[in-house]
A = this chain, B = another copy of it.
C-alpha cells in the first residue's frame, strides 16, 4: 500500500477519514500509544456507517501505523525505523531513468553440471545443471555494474537455450518466471584485479555488493552478485511512513 499523504482531497469518505487520522499521527498530534477515537465515535463524527470507518482503520492497521485491540480500542504504534522499503530497480530502468544510455555486454556464459560451490551458492542439495553468466551493464559507455549469475536449470529449463547475448538475464527471467521471492544481501568489498578491470576502476577501490537469491515456493531460481563502484553508486531506501 502506498498511503501517500494527499488522500485528503480524495473524494471518497473512507480515504478522507484515513488521511485525517494519518495526518494527526504523523504530525505528532496523536503520539505513539495514543488511543484514537472508537469506531462508533468516528461514525458519529463523520455521519457514516461503521463499515466505512472500519475500512479506513483496517488500512491504517495494515500499514502498521496503528494497532487495533479488541475491547480496548485502536492505538498509535511506535515508529519502526528498522523497516524501510528499498527500491532495487532493474539496472536498465535505473540507468535510463538517469537520462543516460544503457549498454549491455555478455562476458561469459557456461552451461555445466552444478559444482559443489554452485550448489552452495544456490542453496540446493542435489546436483543438476546450471547456467553461469557473467555480464556487464554500462551507462553512457562507462561500466556501471558487473553481474555474476547462476541459474538453476532444474527450475528454469528454458534458460538453457535463451539468448543472453542481447537480453540481460535479469530482464529475461523477469519475463519468463512468475512470482518469486527474493533476499538481498548488501555488503562492501574492495576491488580485486578482475573486478577493477571489469569496472574500469582502481584495484582497492570500494565496491558495493548486492547478492540476490531468488526462489519460488521453496524452489531455487537464481543467485546473482552485482558489483557497483562504491563511490558512484548509491542505494536509496525510504521508510514508508507518510
Contacts and interface: CB of A to CB of B under 8 A. Distances in A.
A121 to B, nearest CB: 15
A216 B182 contact: no
Interface stretch (A35-43, A126-134, A201-209): A201-209
Contacts of A212: 81
Interface residues of A, number: 63
A189 B238 contact: no
A148 interface: no
B184 A236 contact: yes
A120 interface: no
Q: Copies per complex?
A: 2
A87 B82 contact: yes
A184 B236 CA distance: 5
Contact of A234 (B28, B187, B228): B187
A114 to B, nearest CB: 23
A11 interface: no
A180 B76 CA distance: 13
B239 A181 contact: yes
Interface of A: 1, 25-28, 31-32, 59, 62-63, 65, 76, 78-79, 81-90, 93, 170, 174, 177-190, 204-209, 212, 214, 216-217, 228, 230-231, 233-239, 241-242
